Amino acid sequence: MIMMMILSRYFNSRTARRFVSTCSGHGWWDKVRVAPKDPTVKVNESFLADPFPHKINLGVGTYRDDDGKPFTPQCVGDAEAKINRYKLEETNSSEVSSKFVMESVKLAYGNDSFVVREGLYAGVPTLSGTGACRLFAEFQRNFYPDSQIHLPDPTWPNHHNIWSQAQIPVKTFHYYDPYTKGLDFDALISDVKNAPDSSFFLLHPCAHNPTGIDPTEEQWREISYQFKVKNHFPFFDMAYQGFSSGDLDKDAAALRIFVEDGHLVGLAQSFAKNMGLFGHKVGCLSVLTRDIKQAAAVKSQLEHIFHSMYSSPPIHGILLVTMILSDPTMKEQWKKEIKIMANRIRAMRTTLRRNLEDLDSSFSWEHITNQVGMFCFSGLTPDQVKYLEKQFHIYMSPDARISMAGVTPSNVNYLANAIHQVTRISEETSVCM
Amino acid sequence: MASSSVLSVATQCVSRNASSLSINETHKGKAKLGGSTLRFSKSSGRISMTVAVNVSRFEAIPMAPPDPILGVSEAFRADTSDAKLNLGVGAYRTEELQPYVLNVVKKAENLMLERGDNKEYLPIEGLAAFNKATAELLLGADNPAIKEQRVATVQGLSGTGSLRLGAALIERYFPGAKVLISAPTWGNHKNIFNDARVPWSEYRYYDPRTVGLDFEGMIEDIKAAPEGTFVLLHGCAHNPTGIDPTPEQWEKIADVIQQKNHIPFFDVAYQGFASGSLDEDAASVRLFVACGMEVLVAQSYSKNLGLYAERIGAMNVISSSSESATRVKSQLKRLARPMYSNPPVHGAKIVANVVGTPALFDEWKAEMEMMAGRIKNVRQKLYDSISSKDKSGKDWSFILKQIGMFSYTGLNKNQSDNMTNKWHVYMTKDGRISLAGLSLAKCEYLADAIIDSFHNVS
């Protein structure tokens, strides 16, 4: 009270009077609590804060080279130099976007795909994979307000946030079998059969995140068949095309099986990982339709949704991807670089497993090489994960997902040793008990 | 429906034939049935059915309404007349009516290319250097709010994306709160709040009788709104009217908002473009902050740095304490993560480089003055042309009083149509012209068109 009187005496402007009158006013944001930290971000921050010289970051799924450095493919560097020489006028933005979408769907569905040739799809550029998923979730809510989304258990945690934020209830279906550290196929099929007809399902077509466990071709065909019987809607989130096998077409096989079987799928594509364009937020959402008239209608609705979210997508990444995919030389180079990246990860898998076996670990580590893509679902317990962090300065997701991209020839021995230590200790502890 | 009958036939086929085919047999064939195609193929002992789907579940989806502003550009492109003039979308054009990439942007991009920056994900809140630069640009580096760390800044996808983050924050923490928007306002404001499920209503703003501000109406409507309403204000260069409150009027607006315990929500899309001075154009925002109010501000660098397609902007929440700002920032991040995870890097780096490099910053200010100056010249020339040609005695001075890229001509829909149909001048139906698309050379022609439309069409 006294403080306010002093202040008001010092300032004679109207501004001051107002300031005083607000001092006692309430803070609008008092009710706003601190948000929980995103788990991946938390891991990353802890890693960055750690001063230990031999620390290892196996948290976020961004590709690293053999020296543990971020890696920008050569084709991307070349494309950067090229587009810098001319910068696009806004009037051509929509032309570039159309070209981008065309190249993206060719990549996913196949150059000679019927749906691509006939234009039986609604496609728009999106803010990477997240943006594509969110756009579809909003679209789903607009036209199927009472629907739910069935997500694999486990899945990328942000899938849950995305559909929840779009106000679509989330259900999960069986996927990971912790006993075999493989796919729980029977339970998966059972869940597909038991879901109400015409349910929306999200599937990872390759390099499942976080488990690295993909169905076989046979299993995919069975899933597709069951989806047909139940008239389910398959939504694919393809964030790692090229990272499973090193071959872009092979990695799209599951998607193409469904399309061949006549499903009118939805697809989220991301170029964050396979082109190293993380920060540029380049992705594509496509929804297959019966005819081009419907494709135009669906596209217009998707545009309407993102128009009120961010008006239009950022052009830089779109330019890069379009240039790389539409230039045969660049595209070839990119395919080579993907193979290199995928092979490096596979080599690290092999080395890690061999090291553990050489240490005479009594556990089976074959899941390390059975799983594909960037991630390894190690099967470590939460306590073991904590121990690895505290004692060995090795950081991974709380669910014990290891980003193999963070494993290098120079740290793989240290990693193997550390994993061996924590699992041996746990075993000994449990034996004593 | 056709597809379900096809499917049931297919299932029957499977159960009938499954036992009669052995593992090693392959059977492929096609049968046409009711407009769709059944294909049988087998792999490893089971028959898999492929059925071309007749009915899509998105059957009932209608075409969305076309965006009115983009529609103008399309119609312009289709027009073959030599005299055509595009005064539709608000993108800056040179005197030669070409798009303009700022020199500082080219320099910044060259720097970035030389450095070979990596392309890692930005943090959810965006590039730190950008966030710092943008808050300081908005409020002034020595603003107490910044010094006291009371500003939560999160990089957003230009103005739209930043507004949407703000709207999402309102929806989550102020359920039921309304946003008051000006009549008229930028068309996308309504879409943004609708899709974010935030209710809105309008306050009077444009007075067609004076082609100026309905100040009394504006104050009345703000006063009448329930306490705790969010009031959306254009920081400068109001879109679409070009009509800004005077400094005195801003003070009164701030008073009323404070008395009613409303929350001001600024949309700052033209900082630098109104007067040519970045600081002057931020005066309204700085006034409100100096009053001690908690303020939301969405910023865009689409126009003032010409970064339209890069999508770079920011959502700022200035609150009463640094602790509060920390909490708010964490929630903004939480809203951004399921929208796009983290924002795009390229535009952020350009802005950070331009603002953070003194030589580039000075050069930018000069280019900003040049762009705003060109528009001011064009306004003057248009006014001079109309005044000298129009003998009716009508007062056209509102053209000079308005500010920024746009001008509300006062033409109604029919008159605007006449502008397009007779004169090949493309503009929006509300009578808005974008002066950024007007050259000095075309002012006489435009003057003729406006005079004709105003006097000869009702």
Q: Could you list the mean pLDDT of each consecutive 10-residue stretch along chain A, which spans 433 residues?
A: 53 44 51 79 89 91 86 89 65 83 98 95 97 97 96 96 97 95 96 97 97 96 97 97 94 98 97 93 96 92 94 93 95 95 95 95 93 93 95 94 94 96 80 42
Give me the mean pLDDT over the B198-214 stretch: 96
SS3 label, residue B8: helix
Residue A3: the pLDDT is 58
Both tokens assigned to B309: 């397609």
| pLDDT computed for residue B66 by the predictor | 78
- How close does chain B come to A121, measured CA to CA in Å? 12
Contact residues on chain B for A23, CB-CB shorter than 8 A: 292
- Which of A31, A88, A311 lies closest to B160 in CB terms? A311
Contacts of A134 in chain B (CB under 8 A): 338-340
Please tell me whether the interface predicted TM-score (ipTM) of this complex is above 0.90: no
Q: Does the distance separating the beta carbons of A225 and B48 come in below 8 Å? A: yes
Q: What is the pLDDT of residue B61?
A: 82
| Pairwise CB contact (< 8 Å): A80 & B101 | no
Beta strand residue intervals within B168-271, DSSP E = 179-183, 200-204, 206-207, 212-213, 230-234, 263-268
> What local confidence, expressed as pLDDT, does residue A26 receive?
52
Helix (H) or strand (E) holding B299: strand B295-300
Write the residue in A41, A81, A225 that is nearest to B124 by C-beta.
A41
A81: closest CA of chain B, how far (Å): 7
Catalytic residue among A55, A78, A156, A184: A156
Nearest CA in chain B to A129: B340
**Is the per-residue pLDDT at B252 higher than 60?**
yes
Residues within 8 A of A (CB atoms), B 9-68 only: 11, 43-44, 46, 48-67
Nearest by CB to A31, from B4, B113, B173: name it: B173
Look at the block and give the residue holding tokens 């920390």: B326
A196 touches chain B (CB under 8 A): no
Does the active-site annotation cover A29?
A: no
| Alpha-carbon span A227 to A213, nearest angstrom | 20
Task: Say if the Cβ atoms of B292 and A27 lie within 8 Å.
Answer: no
Specify the amino acid at residue B131. N
> In the block, which residue shows the tokens 């056209």?
B396
Q: Is there a contact between B309 and A276 if contact means CB atoms under 8 Å apart?
A: no
Q: How many contiguous H segments (helices) and E segments (strands) does chain B have?
A: 17, 16
B310 within 8 A of A314, measured Cβ to Cβ: yes
**A84-93, B165-174, B337-346, B361-370: range with lowest mean pLDDT:** A84-93
User: Residues 201 to 220 of A: which have CB under 8 A from any B CB?
Assistant: 218
A340 touches chain B (CB under 8 A): no
For chain A, what is the HEC assignment? CHHHHHHHHHCCCHHHHHHHHHHCCCCCCCCCCCCCCCHHHHHHHHHHHCCCCCCEEECCCCCECCCCCECCCHHHHHHHHHHHHCCCCHHHHHHHHHHHHHHHHHHHHCCCCHHHHCCCEEEEEEEHHHHHHHHHHHHHHHHCCCCCEEEEECCCHHHHHHHHHCCCCEEEEECEECCCCEECHHHHHHHHHHCCCCCEEEECCCCCCCCCCCCCHHHHHHHHHHHHHHCCEEEEEECCCCCCCCCHHHHCHHHHHHHHCCCCCEEEEECCCCCCCHHHCEEEEEEECCCHHHHHHHHHHHHHHHHHHHCCCCHHHHHHHHHHHHCHHHHHHHHHHHHHHHHHHHHHHHHHHHHHHHCCCCCCCHHHHHCCCCEEECCCCHHHHHHHHHHHCEEECCCCEEEHHHCCCCCHHHHHHHHHHHHHHHHHHHHHC
Q: What is the pLDDT of residues B146-201, one digit of tens each?
A: 999 999 999 999 999 999 999 999 999 999 999 999 999 998 999 999 999 999 99
**Can the peptide bond before residue A328 be classed as cis, meaning omega within 30 degrees of 0?**
no
Contact B290 A19 (CB under 8 A): yes
- Inter-chain contact B258–A32, Cβ cutoff 8 Å? no
How buried is residue A7: exposed, middle or buried, by Cβ count under 10 Å (0-12/13-18/19+)?
middle
- Cα A333 to Cα A330: distance, rounded to the nearest angstrom: 5
Cα–Cα distance, A291 to B72 (Å, whole number): 28
Query: How many Å apart are CA A329 and CA B347, to the nearest integer?
Result: 28
Residues of A within 8 A of B43 (CB-CB) are 218, 221
**The predicted structure's pLDDT at residue A5:** 55
Mean pLDDT, to the nearest integer, of B259-286?
96
Q: What is the mean pLDDT of chain B?
A: 88
Return the residue in B339, B349, B351, B434 with the most chain A beta carbons within 10 A, the one to mutate for interface testing: B339
Within 8 A of B53 by CB-CB distance, chain A residues are 262-264, 290
Would you say the C-alpha torsion B156, B161, B162, B167 has a positive or negative sign?
negative
Name the least confident of A66-75, A283-292, B204-213, B232-241.
A66-75
Cβ–Cβ of B63/A261 closer than 8 Å? no
B265 within 8 A of B253, measured Cβ to Cβ: no
A188 at B interface, C-beta within 8 A: no
Tokens coding B3? 């597809």
In a mutagenesis test of the B interface, which of A48, A87, A228, A309 is the best target, namely the one with the most B β-carbons within 10 Å? A309
CA distance A317 to chain B (A): 8
